[in-house]
Amino acid sequence: MSFLEAQGISKAFGGIQALETCSVSVEAGSITGLIGPNGSGKTTMFNVMTGYERVDSGQVRLNDKAITNLSPDKVFRLGIGRTFQLTRIFPRLTVLENMHVAAQRNDFKGLLSRWSSTHEQQRAIELLDFVGLTSLKDLQAGNLSFGQKKLLEFAFVLIAEPKIILLDEPAGGVNPTMVNYLADRIRKLNQQGITFLVVEHNMEFVMNLCDKVLVMHRGTKIAEGAPAEIRENPAVLEAYLGD
Protein backbone atom coordinates (compact mmCIF):
# COMPACT_ATOMS: atom_id res chain seq x y z
CA MET A 1 0.00 0.00 0.00
CA SER A 2 1.25 3.47 -0.85
CA PHE A 3 2.28 5.48 2.17
CA LEU A 4 3.18 8.70 0.38
CA GLU A 5 1.75 9.30 -3.03
CA ALA A 6 1.88 12.12 -5.58
CA GLN A 7 -0.78 11.79 -8.25
CA GLY A 8 -0.66 13.64 -11.57
CA ILE A 9 1.42 16.53 -10.27
CA SER A 10 2.06 19.44 -12.62
CA LYS A 11 4.20 22.40 -11.68
CA ALA A 12 5.56 25.15 -13.92
CA PHE A 13 7.96 28.00 -13.17
CA GLY A 14 7.17 30.64 -15.76
CA GLY A 15 7.67 28.91 -19.10
CA ILE A 16 9.51 25.94 -17.63
CA GLN A 17 7.40 22.88 -16.95
CA ALA A 18 9.24 21.29 -14.01
CA LEU A 19 6.66 18.53 -13.42
CA GLU A 20 4.12 17.28 -15.91
CA THR A 21 1.31 15.02 -14.64
CA CYS A 22 3.93 13.14 -12.69
CA SER A 23 2.90 10.35 -10.30
CA VAL A 24 5.16 8.66 -7.80
CA SER A 25 4.39 6.51 -4.79
CA VAL A 26 6.36 5.23 -1.84
CA GLU A 27 5.45 2.00 -0.05
CA ALA A 28 5.28 1.99 3.74
CA GLY A 29 8.49 0.71 5.32
CA SER A 30 10.49 0.87 2.10
CA ILE A 31 13.65 2.68 1.06
CA THR A 32 12.74 4.11 -2.33
CA GLY A 33 15.23 5.82 -4.61
CA LEU A 34 14.29 8.72 -6.87
CA ILE A 35 16.82 9.25 -9.62
CA GLY A 36 17.05 11.11 -12.90
CA PRO A 37 19.32 13.46 -14.82
CA ASN A 38 19.82 17.04 -13.62
CA GLY A 39 16.69 19.11 -14.14
CA SER A 40 14.38 16.13 -14.29
CA GLY A 41 12.20 17.53 -11.44
CA LYS A 42 13.28 15.43 -8.46
CA THR A 43 13.81 18.31 -6.06
CA THR A 44 10.65 20.02 -7.29
CA MET A 45 8.77 16.82 -6.48
CA PHE A 46 10.30 16.91 -2.97
CA ASN A 47 9.29 20.56 -2.60
CA VAL A 48 5.73 19.79 -3.67
CA MET A 49 5.48 16.83 -1.30
CA THR A 50 6.75 18.85 1.68
CA GLY A 51 4.73 22.02 1.06
CA TYR A 52 7.61 24.22 -0.12
CA GLU A 53 5.97 24.60 -3.55
CA ARG A 54 2.29 24.73 -4.42
CA VAL A 55 1.13 22.41 -7.17
CA ASP A 56 -0.55 23.70 -10.34
CA SER A 57 -2.58 20.50 -10.47
CA GLY A 58 -2.54 17.04 -8.94
CA GLN A 59 -2.70 15.70 -5.43
CA VAL A 60 -0.31 14.63 -2.69
CA ARG A 61 -1.57 12.01 -0.23
CA LEU A 62 -0.04 10.70 2.99
CA ASN A 63 -1.54 7.49 4.29
CA ASP A 64 -4.48 8.11 1.95
CA LYS A 65 -5.14 11.59 3.37
CA ALA A 66 -4.82 14.59 1.06
CA ILE A 67 -1.99 16.93 2.12
CA THR A 68 -1.75 18.92 -1.12
CA ASN A 69 -0.48 22.50 -0.65
CA LEU A 70 -0.32 22.31 3.13
CA SER A 71 2.33 24.60 4.59
CA PRO A 72 5.74 23.01 5.41
CA ASP A 73 5.19 23.20 9.18
CA LYS A 74 1.90 21.31 8.89
CA VAL A 75 3.44 18.71 6.58
CA PHE A 76 6.28 18.25 9.06
CA ARG A 77 3.88 17.79 11.96
CA LEU A 78 2.05 15.11 9.96
CA GLY A 79 5.25 13.09 9.99
CA ILE A 80 7.18 13.98 6.81
CA GLY A 81 10.76 15.05 7.50
CA ARG A 82 13.20 16.13 4.82
CA THR A 83 16.78 17.16 4.23
CA PHE A 84 18.05 19.46 1.50
CA GLN A 85 20.52 19.05 -1.34
CA LEU A 86 22.47 22.06 -0.02
CA THR A 87 22.40 21.37 3.68
CA ARG A 88 20.17 23.77 5.58
CA ILE A 89 21.08 23.92 9.21
CA PHE A 90 20.99 26.92 11.56
CA PRO A 91 24.60 28.10 11.47
CA ARG A 92 24.51 30.55 14.37
CA LEU A 93 22.91 28.07 16.76
CA THR A 94 24.91 25.38 18.51
CA VAL A 95 24.66 21.79 17.34
CA LEU A 96 22.45 20.98 20.34
CA GLU A 97 20.18 23.99 19.75
CA ASN A 98 19.76 22.86 16.13
CA MET A 99 18.46 19.56 17.44
CA HIS A 100 15.90 21.28 19.65
CA VAL A 101 14.47 23.47 16.88
CA ALA A 102 12.89 20.40 15.32
CA ALA A 103 11.63 19.23 18.70
CA GLN A 104 9.19 22.18 18.83
CA ARG A 105 5.80 21.42 20.26
CA ASN A 106 3.27 24.02 19.38
CA ASP A 107 1.06 23.84 22.44
CA PHE A 108 1.18 26.97 24.59
CA LYS A 109 2.75 25.32 27.62
CA GLY A 110 5.36 23.62 25.48
CA LEU A 111 6.43 26.88 23.90
CA LEU A 112 6.77 28.58 27.28
CA SER A 113 9.01 25.87 28.65
CA ARG A 114 12.79 25.85 28.41
CA TRP A 115 14.15 24.07 25.36
CA SER A 116 16.75 22.26 27.40
CA SER A 117 14.33 20.14 29.45
CA THR A 118 15.73 16.86 30.68
CA HIS A 119 13.72 14.47 28.53
CA GLU A 120 14.34 16.27 25.25
CA GLN A 121 17.96 16.91 26.12
CA GLN A 122 18.46 13.19 26.60
CA ARG A 123 16.73 12.43 23.32
CA ALA A 124 18.84 15.00 21.45
CA ILE A 125 22.07 13.61 22.90
CA GLU A 126 20.94 10.09 21.99
CA LEU A 127 20.46 11.11 18.39
CA LEU A 128 23.72 13.06 18.27
CA ASP A 129 25.34 9.87 19.53
CA PHE A 130 23.60 8.01 16.75
CA VAL A 131 25.23 10.21 14.10
CA GLY A 132 28.47 10.62 16.05
CA LEU A 133 28.30 14.35 16.77
CA THR A 134 27.91 14.37 20.56
CA SER A 135 31.39 15.73 21.20
CA LEU A 136 30.57 18.76 19.05
CA LYS A 137 27.22 19.56 20.68
CA ASP A 138 28.23 22.94 22.09
CA LEU A 139 29.89 24.24 18.93
CA GLN A 140 28.20 26.68 16.57
CA ALA A 141 26.82 24.55 13.77
CA GLY A 142 28.31 26.87 11.13
CA ASN A 143 31.76 25.62 12.16
CA LEU A 144 31.01 22.00 11.20
CA SER A 145 32.42 20.39 8.07
CA PHE A 146 30.07 19.74 5.14
CA GLY A 147 29.69 16.06 6.00
CA GLN A 148 29.04 16.83 9.65
CA LYS A 149 26.36 19.33 8.62
CA LYS A 150 24.67 16.60 6.58
CA LEU A 151 24.68 14.32 9.60
CA LEU A 152 23.34 17.10 11.82
CA GLU A 153 20.50 17.83 9.41
CA PHE A 154 19.70 14.13 9.32
CA ALA A 155 19.73 13.98 13.13
CA PHE A 156 17.51 16.97 13.74
CA VAL A 157 14.93 15.65 11.34
CA LEU A 158 14.91 12.42 13.35
CA ILE A 159 14.19 14.12 16.69
CA ALA A 160 10.59 14.83 15.67
CA GLU A 161 10.05 11.10 15.06
CA PRO A 162 8.91 11.36 11.42
CA LYS A 163 7.16 8.46 9.73
CA ILE A 164 8.87 9.13 6.42
CA ILE A 165 12.08 10.99 5.60
CA LEU A 166 12.84 12.52 2.22
CA LEU A 167 16.60 12.75 1.71
CA ASP A 168 17.78 15.06 -1.05
CA GLU A 169 21.23 13.94 -2.19
CA PRO A 170 22.46 12.75 1.20
CA ALA A 171 25.72 11.48 -0.29
CA GLY A 172 26.44 14.58 -2.39
CA GLY A 173 29.82 16.10 -1.56
CA VAL A 174 30.40 13.63 1.25
CA ASN A 175 33.52 11.45 1.48
CA PRO A 176 33.08 7.69 0.81
CA THR A 177 33.57 6.65 4.44
CA MET A 178 30.83 9.02 5.55
CA VAL A 179 28.59 7.80 2.69
CA ASN A 180 28.87 4.22 3.97
CA TYR A 181 28.16 5.42 7.48
CA LEU A 182 25.08 7.28 6.33
CA ALA A 183 23.80 4.23 4.42
CA ASP A 184 24.28 2.19 7.57
CA ARG A 185 22.25 4.69 9.63
CA ILE A 186 19.45 4.73 7.06
CA ARG A 187 19.21 0.94 7.10
CA LYS A 188 19.06 0.89 10.90
CA LEU A 189 16.26 3.43 10.98
CA ASN A 190 14.40 1.64 8.22
CA GLN A 191 14.53 -1.56 10.26
CA GLN A 192 12.81 0.39 13.04
CA GLY A 193 9.96 1.32 10.72
CA ILE A 194 10.89 4.63 9.10
CA THR A 195 10.15 4.91 5.39
CA PHE A 196 12.70 6.67 3.16
CA LEU A 197 12.53 8.41 -0.19
CA VAL A 198 16.04 9.20 -1.40
CA VAL A 199 17.09 11.47 -4.26
CA GLU A 200 20.68 10.70 -5.18
CA HIS A 201 23.12 10.88 -8.08
CA ASN A 202 25.51 8.34 -6.55
CA MET A 203 24.21 5.22 -8.33
CA GLU A 204 26.17 2.78 -6.22
CA PHE A 205 24.64 4.31 -3.09
CA VAL A 206 21.12 4.10 -4.53
CA MET A 207 21.41 0.61 -5.97
CA ASN A 208 22.88 -0.86 -2.76
CA LEU A 209 20.47 0.88 -0.43
CA CYS A 210 17.07 1.01 -2.08
CA ASP A 211 14.34 -1.64 -2.39
CA LYS A 212 12.76 0.18 -5.30
CA VAL A 213 13.92 2.89 -7.66
CA LEU A 214 11.82 5.50 -9.47
CA VAL A 215 13.29 7.30 -12.46
CA MET A 216 12.27 10.78 -13.57
CA HIS A 217 13.06 12.57 -16.80
CA ARG A 218 11.79 15.94 -18.03
CA GLY A 219 9.27 16.29 -15.25
CA THR A 220 7.66 12.90 -15.46
CA LYS A 221 8.27 9.36 -14.23
CA ILE A 222 9.71 7.11 -16.92
CA ALA A 223 10.42 3.91 -15.01
CA GLU A 224 10.12 2.16 -11.68
CA GLY A 225 11.25 -1.17 -10.35
CA ALA A 226 13.90 -3.06 -8.44
CA PRO A 227 17.45 -1.66 -8.73
CA ALA A 228 18.55 -4.55 -10.98
CA GLU A 229 15.67 -3.91 -13.39
CA ILE A 230 16.37 -0.20 -13.51
CA ARG A 231 20.01 -0.80 -14.43
CA GLU A 232 18.88 -2.65 -17.56
CA ASN A 233 15.92 -0.45 -18.46
CA PRO A 234 16.47 1.01 -21.97
CA ALA A 235 14.37 4.12 -21.24
CA VAL A 236 16.56 4.89 -18.24
CA LEU A 237 19.77 4.37 -20.20
CA GLU A 238 18.36 6.60 -22.92
CA ALA A 239 17.51 9.33 -20.38
CA TYR A 240 21.00 9.30 -18.90
CA LEU A 241 23.03 8.73 -22.03
CA GLY A 242 20.75 9.84 -24.85
CA ASP A 243 20.00 13.26 -26.39
Partner 1 sequence: MRIYKIVGLVLALLIALAFPLVSPNPAVTTVAVFTLIFAAAATGWNVFSGYSGYISLGHAAYFGVGGYAMAILCQDWKIQGGYSAFWLVPIAGLVAALFALPLGWIALRVRRHTFVVITIAMFFILQLLSYNLRGLTNGSIGLGLPIPIDWGGDFYDIPFYYVALAVLLLAIGISWWVRNSKYGLGLLAIRDDEDRAMGLGVTTGPSKLVAFIISAFIVGMVGAIWAYFVESIYPASGFDATFDVAVVLMAYLGGLGTISGPILGALILEPAQQYFTVEYGANGYYLIIYGALFLVIMLLLPRGIVPTLTDRWNRIQLARHRESAPPMPAMALSTGSGAESTDRKEEINL
Residues that bind partner 1 (CB under 8 A): 50-52, 71-73, 75-77, 82, 84, 88-93, 97, 100-106, 110-116, 126-127, 129-136, 138-140, 143, 148, 151, 156-158, 160-161, 177-178, 180-181, 183-184, 187-189, 192-194, 208
Q: Where are the beta strands (DSSP E) in 119-236?
A: 164-168, 195-199, 212-217, 220-225
Give the whole-angstrom CA distance, residue 218 versus residue 128. 38
SS3 232: helix
Closest to partner 1 by CB, 81 or 223: 81
Smallest gap, in angstroms, from Cβ of residue 234 to partner 1? 29
Give the whole-angstrom CA distance, residue 216 versus residue 209. 18
SS3 76: helix
Closest to partner 1 by CB, 65 or 114: 114
Smallest gap, in angstroms, from Cβ of residue 214 to partner 1? 22
66-99 residues labelled b (16+ CB within 10 A) or e (exposed)? ebbebeeeebbebbbbbbbbebebeeeebbbbbb
Closest to partner 1 by CB, 97 or 200: 97
Smallest gap, in angstroms, from Cβ of residue 54 to partner 1? 14
Smallest gap, in angstroms, from Cβ of residue 22 to partner 1? 22
